[in-house]
């Protein structure tokens, strides 16, 4: 599987949140690592897009688009911190 960075989902996140989210700091629920969303490890093959923590490789977020509606599960992030 091809490994990308969080910039690959920047457009989808912009459509959902209405702002550039790639520079927002994410806090991993599992290991507590702080890193910009742009540094997440992203996999885009499959029925949805998966973003994982670069430090511990646990799941940060899942994006799925169905009938032009994008759903985002961010339960792997303890916080999103604006700079």
Residue 1's pLDDT band (cuts 50, 70, 90): confident
pLDDT for the residue numbered 3: 96
Residues 3-7 have a mean pLDDT of 97
Residue 59 pLDDT exceeds 90 = yes
Mean pLDDT, rounded, of the chain: 95
67: left (phi over 0), alpha (psi -120 to 50) or beta: left
Residues 12-24 have a mean pLDDT of 96
Residue 34 pLDDT exceeds 90 = yes
Q: Distance between CA 66 and CA 69 in Å, rounded?
A: 5
Residue 47 pLDDT exceeds 90 = no
């Amino acid at each position: 599987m091809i490994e990308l960075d969080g910039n690959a989902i920047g457009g989808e996140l912009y459509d959902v949140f209405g702002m550039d989210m790639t520079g927002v700091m994410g806090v991993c629920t599992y290991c507590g690592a702080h890193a910009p969303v742009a540094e997440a490890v992203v996999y885009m093959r499959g029925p949805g897009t998966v973003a994982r923590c670069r430090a511990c490789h646990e799941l940060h977020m899942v994006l799925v688009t169905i009938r032009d509606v994008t759903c985002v599960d961010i339960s792997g992030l303890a916080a999103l911190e604006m700079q």
